[in-house]
Structure 1
């Protein structure tokens, strides 16, 4: 395409080829479009729930401000400002979404929202922004600035606001260059992606209100109505202890206040007032013998000249020291070659960070609270666990798992396996896929090639998932009732070459 002098016809062919490639690159699958739509629906539902929660918090604050004006009055003024700023920004985004979807007849048809031209025209004008695009940026910046001004620059919510409502340039992962926020997040994106983005921003607004009003401006307002609503909470450092260990932890109030010191504490029938430190009842006592134990008592306060009792109760278990670790495979007692197999490792009474875990027969990596093992070429993988108990004793254990190849996949058309009845025109345009319907793992199977056999015609090899021109030509000669055989399907699962994919047959209905 790049060498020699080309004719006008060849230049046109080359141009059409480039346009075709660009169209393929921009084309987003219907499944992805639908996924964005479903995500948007969930966000809308969550926003409704959060709004109801926020309204309850505002109502509680109104009640407290009327009862205790000096304490809660200034908080209500702040909350009202944040509510106003939040509603204004939220309603602006709602109007923007409504305007964007004006020409979409079915608002639930997310596959129809694959175009990028609406926002590209509404927000951008060449390399600059339209008035609407600049207004959108201003709305984000103003909301962030106004809320921070209400809270103060030293508020713990300032980093949260700066992150949720940032308009800073975005670093392009390919070029490592800065791209303006508006272009990086909204230019060239399908409408449904921008719709979901706007709804997520609305969720950030309501969550910001909830975080501030519930945790900062009022704390747990519903628990502050009276001392009668307080509940004593036993907070232990561990939920289970070995025989002979000390039980350590604290007894605190539901709304902790270091300055709120009880007049008297009764713990398991004995006076424990001297154990109070910074509003907490410090526990330090023998665990006792193996079995379930109860910690209970009463914390006494004075309110309006009267003694107010606040009872508390909790249970813990004393267990014998273990001699071996407990190891289990999340997907059964087999690990599959070519896949990331999740493994859970635990030792009763020992924290996960105190375990030493290794593997033989595969590569082991940490993943969240568990591990991932990717088996090697052998037939067995072994997980080795060691830990040092609080008594100083070291425990070593291991578990062995069989290594198996991924089972044979099944060829499919229109998510149907075996023999599929369909018209000839449908087969000509339908992609050939593969799957493992009853397999526990979520595999991303990609068909690379297959063979198609039409009765009485030569077998055609097809690269990719859809019939090529040669395949369509032989298919056109097939008649109603013919069985078209799709076989020798080559596919990968999560980048691993599947050893076998069962064929799929198509019985033509016309």
Structure 2
């Protein structure tokens, strides 16, 4: 019996049937994809709104003067930004893997079901993200004393398995198309920034209450009929500066107070409010040791020179000293640099450290951006930096210098020579502000992949 061979036309028809069956098996309706896309856009807008709102809370916290709280909040935000950067990098990687596995290059791959599982579950990136979320949740709870807020943060960042035993990783990334994963990543970001927001609000309320992160015991001042004495009692309870001027018979005739007890930053325009409540009109003369001070509107701008660890604010009237306040002077926080580049998705991103970049992404690096920490805008700009490339094979070094924040043509040429195994370092980054001398910030190490 002779072997029967299908004609080419029938083979093509059979192949088309196989393709059709496969497409029906994995088909995701357009309505579902559109729903994912809409939810993703809404959540990204929420994240940006939260970032702006949180920035306002950080400024309020910095104005309260509790540097311990400011530093803890700044460190918490720094860790959140690292998670943020990792999430954006994972999104870009999933997009690239989906496009590389697509039969039709350049087409939309939002419905791809393989890339998410490969990157997030098989490579255990979801588990690493879960560990980062848990660590962030723990630090938020350490700064939060209000029970309602603690429950809210615990709920937002809950990573426990569900009632059916499905893990956090599976709940978030199993059987998801690319656009569904983007939506889920945006949800995780939104929950993280919400938890940070709740933490900031709690810290602000705690610091405003008694300038401490420890539980507070309420002390109510006993108000006297004398207005000035009542204000003094109130100020003492609020931990504010207040000094009184009395007559020879002990009768209080003037109260001089400043806004808060915040340390002053060296070489920085610190806002100080000086108020005199008096029985008669008073012209104040205000001076600052180890620095300068000027009146601006109803406030004073104090700029310590940083040569000493303290600065004394003196308030006079008619040559007579009314009050003196000693302020602690602290070094101005150094801004943290990041590199602006174009990700594989076509969007502009910030690179800080620890995330590998492709050759194309490295070649798209255009400038250095300064990020202000601790809610203090130092108003500094980049005045220069060096780019250093150390080749992995023969350890040869290529260097170039820029006199600003932008990369020079020579630097961009060096970036084209970068390969996996090389060391690429942006170093000697110099910054300068209106009052600050030229100083250097940390280097940025790029990991080529």
Give the TM-score normalised by the residue count of structure 2: 0.39
* Structure ranking higher on relative contact order (CA contacts 8 Å, 6+ apart): 2
**Higher-strand-fraction structure:** 1
**Higher-helix-fraction structure:** 2
Pick the structure with greater CA Rg: 1
